Amino acid sequence: MRVLITGGAGFLGSHLSDAFIARGDEVFVLDTGSIAKVRHLLDNPRFHYVHDSVFNIELIDSLVSKVNLIYHLAAVVGVEHYVADPYETLNVNVNGTQNVLKAAYKHNKRLVFSSTSEVYGRNPKVPWREDDDRVLGATSIDRWCYSTSKAVGEHFCFAYHKLGLPVTVVRYFNAYGPRLDKVDVGRLFTIFMGQLLRGADLTVVGDGLQTRCFTYVTDAIEATVRAGVNPAADGQAINIGVDVETTVLEFAKLMLELFGPTKSKIKFVTQEEVYGNSYEDIPRRVPDNTKMRTLLGVTPKVNLRDGVKISMDWFRKEMAS
């Protein structure tokens, strides 16, 4: 099978590339970023890296015509990015997604769209099922542009599905692991990891009682692969994540414990200090992962302590080299 992964040189994309190469498939990656996360695949004759963007419509059309399955992961992600540049977030996540969907529809190629738990917003009813309501803040708060852009992408996916395109939406809940972002930016793990490596305090926003469900990358990727190869997933939105809640404060304490002797301690900060006035936090994020378990047949295997330890060891080796 031939697989196209837009954004395939990123965190999830690189692991997804590994998974399909391990299956014996041929992988085409389209990405504008660094090759660092896929460098180990460059000599593999079944791996093809194309350095370009989803706005190159002719290229997208050519790549889509060659493959059997498309994973659309290319997007602007990370709080620091969508708070700083909401225009780019909306442009890439909405208009770029349309370009890929149009090509998929033209050539009738199955597509898996990478979405996010952010689409649920701050709905207080947890755990979130795939058909639950979205509860968002004001459009004047830049923080909600990412959630909105991904929801618009989902709407386009389901609109194309009504036209006959085989499509599946996967919503990730705090995936983490080796190759995740750069230290000091992006997700909680890399922010805390960067602070630990520098001997700085771990900055916990607010009281730290907001919860997340941290999903180790191999579990997320197993579900992602199955979402693309299982015909039963067609037309579905599927939560990808563990359903075990962990507070941000608990997560910070766990990282301090596993890191070992350090001068770092926990420092509580306001969200305005970190993100300015264009950010609102989400108190709880918990998936109902019934579909992932039953429809895809995936039960998360890696617990948080083991996953964090593996990830820490990887980042330490990377920094040392």
Question: Which position has the token pair 């996916």?
Answer: 157
Q: How long is the chain? A: 321
Question: Which is catalytic among the residues 71, 82, 120, 146?
Answer: 146
Our answer to whether residue 146 is catalytic in this structure is yes
DSSP state letter for 201: P
Determine the Cα–Cα distance for residues 38 and 75; give it in Å rounded to an integer: 18
| Dihedral over alpha carbons 254, 255, 257, 262 (to 10 degrees) | -150
Determine the Cα–Cα distance for residues 300 and 303; give it in Å rounded to an integer: 8
| Dihedral over alpha carbons 170, 144, 311, 214 (to 10 degrees) | -60
DSSP assignment string, 98-163: HHHHHHHHHHT-EEEEEEEGGGGBT-SS-SBPTTPPPB---TTSTTHHHHHHHHHHHHHHHHHHHT
Please say whether the beta carbons of 227 and 255 come within 8 A. no
- What amino acid positions are annotated as catalytic residues? 146
